């Protein structure tokens, strides 16, 4: 099994060079593979929306964030540079922008995501998933005014609706329930999936037909969680909760696709991909998969958040994690290709590329 996983990673890394050339050709003037990509979720796909929220700590519009972004600009991405959705957008022929833009520009797509948010509106104190979808609904109305209702409907039906959420819900539940019993876990999972179901149906009723889903990450192995474990190992109960939620998400979309006419979906496994990179770091050129590149504190450089005064590793390309919880640009590049056109272990029942072409 380890040999198979290492082979999958090597094939993925080889394919990245080909995909990058193809994407640059598309971005250089060729037609986009999809009309637009609309993004909903948390900090894994937030490209700067939290910059506009006052009085919150979940923001990244300061150094060392963005140190490897063109111009060294801290854009609000929780990364040293680009994030996974940037690469997915590049491969799809689109450029990711936040939601603070004119409707005419946003017809090519926008990220409504907000760091700290979750599937459940009770998670976090930033832009909830319900509010993100409301903002999209407002944008949809503006697009309909510009294009006509019929043309807007066609555009949306061919566009990708990308959702990356659930990690904060699981983390918050676990933080409040260190040793939850089976009843508490069951009730949480039911509330999570019921709410996820409602969000997807709302988007469907607003015109969405193609759903690209990124599942709950391997949370327990992030530097911050390791730093909280006296042994320094991954916190397995949290990983098991993430794994259970991912099974529920898979079943939800399978059922919804049979109920809702014209719906298509692809589920990318952040859980499996990060797991494979931790197991076989050398395949991706990583030398450090436990510690944060930017942070502070003696344990995994993850007892303090990344700030302008934090220590920051010199070679970000060798690190899996950028800060307490988020991947480096190098990791995100691998993530982007794995989800766009990778092995079935990382994305199924079809790839994002196949979803775009469907």
**Residue environment code for 221-260, b if the CB has 16+ CB neighbours within 10 A, otherwise e:** bbbbbbbbeeeeebbeebbebbbbbbebbbebbeebeeee
Q: Mean pLDDT in runs of 10 for the chain (358 residues)?
A: 49 37 35 84 96 94 97 96 94 68 64 97 97 95 92 95 98 92 97 98 98 98 97 97 98 98 98 98 96 96 96 97 98 97 97 96
Q: How far apart are CA 190 and CA 211, in angstroms?
A: 21
Query: Are the beta carbons of 196 and 253 closer than 8 angstroms?
Result: no
Closest listed residue to residue 48, CA positions, set 77, 12, 89: 77
pLDDT given at position 317: 97
Token digits for 211? 């759903």
β-partners of residue 294 are 312
pLDDT for residue 61: 97
Structure confidence at residue 104 (pLDDT): 52
Taking CB atoms within 8 Å and a gap of at least 24, the contacts of 30-34 are 30/93, 31/93, 32/92, 32/93, 32/94, 32/108, 33/91, 33/92, 33/93, 33/353, 33/356, 33/357, 34/92, 34/93, 34/94, 34/158, 34/159, 34/160, 34/210, 34/356
pTM: 0.90
CA nearest to 269, candidates 317, 318, 324, 213: 213
Active site residues: 43, 323, 326
CB-facing half-sphere around the CA of 248: CA atoms within 13 A: 21
Please give the span between the terminal C-alpha atoms of the chain, in angstroms, as a whole number: 32
∠321-286-217 over CA atoms, to 5°? 40
- Measured distance CA(290)–CA(223) in Å, rounded: 6
pLDDT at 179: 86
Q: For residues 248 and 264, what is the distance between their CA atoms, to the nearest angstrom?
A: 17
Residues 6 or more apart whose CB falls under 8 angstroms from that of 208 comprise 38, 156, 157, 159, 161
Q: What is the CATH number of domain 31-285+321-357?
A: 3.40.50.1110
Residue 1 is predicted with a pLDDT of: 53
Helices H, strands E: what count in the chain?
12, 10
The b-or-e profile of 147-177 (16+ CB within 10 A means b, else e) is beeeebbebbeebbbbbbbbbbbbbbbbeee
Could you give the angle at the alpha carbon of 153 between the alpha carbons of 32 and 45, nearest 5°?
55
SS3 292: strand
């Amino acid at each position: 099994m380890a040999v198979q996983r290492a082979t999958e990673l090597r094939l993925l890394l080889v394919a990245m060079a080909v995909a990058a050339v193809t994407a640059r050709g598309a971005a250089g003037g060729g037609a986009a593979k999809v009309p637009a990509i609309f993004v909903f979720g948390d900090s894994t796909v937030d490209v700067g929306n939290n910059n506009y929220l006052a009085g919150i700590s979940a923001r990244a519009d300061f150094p060392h964030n963005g140190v490897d972004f063109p111009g060294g600009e801290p854009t609000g991405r929780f990364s040293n540079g680009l994030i996974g959705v940037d690469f997915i957008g590049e491969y799809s022929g689109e450029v990711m922008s936040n939601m603070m833009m004119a409707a005419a520009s946003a017809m090519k797509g926008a990220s409504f995501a907000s760091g700290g948010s979750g599937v459940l509106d009770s998670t976090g104190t930033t832009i909830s998933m319900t509010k993100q979808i409301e903002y999209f609904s407002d944008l949809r109305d503006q697009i309909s005014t510009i294009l006509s209702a019929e043309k807007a409907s066609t555009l949306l039906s061919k566009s990708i609706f990308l959702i990356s959420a659930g990690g904060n819900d699981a983390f918050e539940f676990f933080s409040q329930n260190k040793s939850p019993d089976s009843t508490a876990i069951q009730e949480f999972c039911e509330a999570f999936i019921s709410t996820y179901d409602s969000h997807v149906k709302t988007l469907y009723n607003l015109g969405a037909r193609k759903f690209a889903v990124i599942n709950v990450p391997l949370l327990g192995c992030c530097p911050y969680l390791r730093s909280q474990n006296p042994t320094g190992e991954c916190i397995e109960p949290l990983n098991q909760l993430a794994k259970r939620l991912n099974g529920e998400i898979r079943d939800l979309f399978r059922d919804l696709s049979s109920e809702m006419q014209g719906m298509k979906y692809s589920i990318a496994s952040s859980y499996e991909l990060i797991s494979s990179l931790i197991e076989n770091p050398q395949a991706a050129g990583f030398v450090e998969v436990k510690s944060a590149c930017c942070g502070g504190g003696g344990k995994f450089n993850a007892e303090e958040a990344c700030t302008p005064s934090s220590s920051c590793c010199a070679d970000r390309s060798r690190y899996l994690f950028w800060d307490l919880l988020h991947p480096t640009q190098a990791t995100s590049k691998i993530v982007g290709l794995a989800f766009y056109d990778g092995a079935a272990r990382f994305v199924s029942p079809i790839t994002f590329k196949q979803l775009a072409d469907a």
